[in-house]
Structure 1
Amino acid sequence: MKLGVFMVLFNGRGFEESLDYVAEKGLKAVEIGTGGYPGNEYCNPEELLADPSKLEAFRKAIESRGLVVSALSCHGNPLHPQKALAKADHDVFLQSVELAQRLGIPVVNTFSGCPGDSEDAKYPNWPVAPWPNDYQDLLKWQWETKVIPYWKEAGKFAEDHGVKIGIELHGGFSAHTPATMLRLREATCEAVGVNLDPSHMWWQGIDPVQAIRILGRAGAIHHFHAKDITIDQSNVNMHGLTDMQSYTQMQDRGWNFRSVGYGHDVKIWADMISELRLQSYDHVVSIEHEDGLMSVDEGFSKAVRNLQQILIEEPAGEMWWV
């Protein structure tokens, strides 16, 4: 495994300056935003695909520092009921897949998206309860008419380009648990897999180690994010785990994102790394910083130090004692 970082956290700095900083920290990989929610400050796929000289300069900037790109990330909602919004996210996904193929990048990360409640809807609708039965009817309609047809086509496009899709299991989107991920994968193709972020498992009450085991046994883990979380039970008692308060309300929220090691101890992170190895994951652990109590540099640096001591980098070799 290699340690990497989601470069969006350095937005506002120069691209090459940020690459130098990452290399100086001893990291081996970068994940780069190409549009959607992460934006495309460091990588505009439309421009790079249209200009071979820019594409080559982009490639050299990364390779000259001994880095690889773990994934291109264009998290968005290609199923948004407002067609213009859906088309923008869909188009950047297609461009990201084409760019990944051109550069030999194995994964494009995104969200599954979430449709509305009808063809006339204006906003996504995320059902979270089986009753009243309206919600079951809505969920069935969404998956059968929107989610599965879209990802069948998108999955084939990625498969034809030799690229894997890493869908982040995030609340508010149709695929948000191991079960919904495996349902989507079974209905589409093996190019459709997961960008597993343990922080989104914890706040849904899912043990990330078990999520790794479930998805790993299906060969469905294509990328991995390193982001922690704290859960404040007294605030959960007030607001629940589906807390709708702004992330800025850290004193009142039921849970908050934290840098690696500041929500769960390093032993739990070591268990996740070991389970990834046990399930034959040998790609990148990509740090994502969204800790409201720490600056970008401090939160990132502490995550690097905590992960460097537990990352399994070398091949296991033969069991000489057997």
Structure 2
Amino acid sequence: MKLGTFTVLFSKMNFEEMLDHVKAKGIEAVEIGTGCYPGNAHCNPQELLENETKLRAFKKAIDDRGLTISALSCHANPLTPDRSFAEESHNLFLQTVQLAEKLDVPVINCFSGTPGDQENAKYPNWPVVTWPTEYRDVLKWQWEEKIIPYWKDAGKFAEDHNVKIALELHGGFSVHTPATLLRLREAVGEVIGANFDPSHMWWQGIDPVAAIKILGRENAIYHFHAKDTSLDQEHVNMYGITDMQPFENLQTRAWQFRTVGFGHDMKTWADILGTLRVVGYDYVVSIEHEDAFFSADEGFTKAVNNLKQIIPQEPLPSLWWN
């Protein structure tokens, strides 16, 4: 496996300064945002697609430092009722797929998106209960009329460009659990897989090791985010896991994103990486830092140091003693 990072946390640095910084910390692969939620501080896909000279310079800057691109990330919501943002999200997806093909990047990271509850809806709707039955009806309509049709077309486009789609299982979006990922994958095909992030499993009450085994049986993990979560049971009792307080409310939130090792111990993280290896994932472990307790660089550095202790860096060995 290679140790990587999602470079949007260093968006205030210019591109080459960012590459030098993460390289000096021991990073081997970069995951780069192309727009929408992650922003495009380090990669403007339209500009690179239209200018071959800039594209070559972009790739050379990465190659010269001995780095690779693990994924291009266009997290957005192409299914939102907000037509302007849906169009922006969709166009960014198309550009990101085309750019990934030109850069020989095998996977792009996305969100599945969340539709509204009807054609004339104003906002996305995320049903999470089956009663009252209106929620069940909304969910059925969303999947049959919006989610599956969109991703069938998007999946075909990605396949035509030799790129796989890794959807992050993120609360608030239609694909947020192993079951919803596998439902979409069954409808669309193996072009769809997971950008697996344990932090989103923990707050939903899902054991990441068990989830990796479930998805691993289907060879459905295409990328991995290293991010932790801490839960405060006293505040879970008060607010539940769907706590709607801002992340700034450090004293009362039910759960918080943490840097690796500050929500769960390193034995837990070693089990996660070991299970990834068991199911055949031997790609990049990409640090995503969203820890409100640490600055960007401090949280990132602590994650690097913790993961270096446990990440398998050499190929799976033969059993020399057997």
Instruction: Give the shorter-chain TM-score range.
Output: over 0.9
Task: Give the number of equivalent residue pairs.
Answer: 322
**C-alpha contact (below 8 Å) 1:156/1:189 kept by paired residues:** no
- The Cα offsets for residues 182-236 of structure 1, whole Å up to 9 and x where unpaired, read as 0000000101111011000000000001111111111110000000010000011
Please give the secondary structure, in 2, of the residue aligned with 1:248: coil
* Alignment-derived partner of residue 104 in structure 2: 104
In 2, Cα distance between the equivalents of 1:240 and 1:85?
30
Give yes or no for the alignment of 1:224 onto 2:243.
no
Q: Which runs of 5+ in 1 are unaligned?
A: none
Give yes or no for the alignment of 1:68 onto 2:68.
yes
**Segments of 4+ moved more than 6 angstroms:** none
In 2, Cα distance between the equivalents of 1:317 and 1:247?
43
Residue 297 of structure 1: how far off its partner (Å): 1.1
Residue 82 of structure 1: how far off its partner (Å): 1.8
* Alignment-derived partner of residue 181 in structure 1: 181
**C-alpha contact (below 8 Å) 1:48/1:54 kept by paired residues:** yes
* Alignment-derived partner of residue 235 in structure 2: 235
Please give the secondary structure, in 2, of the residue aligned with 1:253: coil
* Alignment-derived partner of residue 205 in structure 2: 205
| TM-score scaled by length of structure 2 | 0.99
What amino acid is the match of 1:165?
Answer: I
What amino acid is the match of 2:37?
Answer: Y
In 1, Cα distance between the equivalents of 2:87 and 2:12?
27
In 2, Cα distance between the equivalents of 1:50 and 1:122?
35
Following superposition of structure 1 onto structure 2, how do residues 1-322 of structure 1 map, counting pairs within 5 Å? 1-322=1-322
In 2, Cα distance between the equivalents of 1:221 and 1:53?
34
In 2, Cα distance between the equivalents of 1:282 and 1:123?
39
Residue 321 of structure 1: how far off its partner (Å): 2.8
In 1, Cα distance between the equivalents of 2:221 and 2:316?
20
In 2, Cα distance between the equivalents of 1:82 and 1:69?
31
- The Cα offsets for residues 60-105 of structure 1, whole Å up to 9 and x where unpaired, read as 1101000000000010000011221111000001100000000000
What amino acid is the match of 1:144?
Answer: E
What amino acid is the match of 1:6?
Answer: F
In 2, Cα distance between the equivalents of 1:199 and 1:279?
19
Residue 320 of structure 1: how far off its partner (Å): 2.7
Q: Which runs of 5+ in 2 are unaligned?
A: none
Residue 316 of structure 1: how far off its partner (Å): 1.8
In 1, Cα distance between the equivalents of 2:275 and 2:7?
26
**C-alpha contact (below 8 Å) 1:111/1:167 kept by paired residues:** yes
| Higher mean displacement: 288-297 or 312-321 | 312-321
Please give the secondary structure, in 2, of the residue aligned with 1:203: helix
- The Cα offsets for residues 262-290 of structure 1, whole Å up to 9 and x where unpaired, read as 00000000000000000110110000011
In 2, Cα distance between the equivalents of 1:101 and 1:282?
21
What amino acid is the match of 1:312?
Answer: P
Please give the secondary structure, in 2, of the residue aligned with 1:136: helix
**C-alpha contact (below 8 Å) 1:185/1:193 kept by paired residues:** yes
Please give the secondary structure, in 1, of the residue aligned with 2:32: strand
Please give the secondary structure, in 1, of the residue aligned with 2:263: coil
- The Cα offsets for residues 123-145 of structure 1, whole Å up to 9 and x where unpaired, read as 00000101111111110000000
- The Cα offsets for residues 12-33 of structure 1, whole Å up to 9 and x where unpaired, read as 1111111001111111000000
In 2, Cα distance between the equivalents of 1:68 and 1:114?
31
Give me the CA root mean square deviation: 0.6
Residue 317 of structure 1: how far off its partner (Å): 2.4
**C-alpha contact (below 8 Å) 1:108/1:165 kept by paired residues:** yes
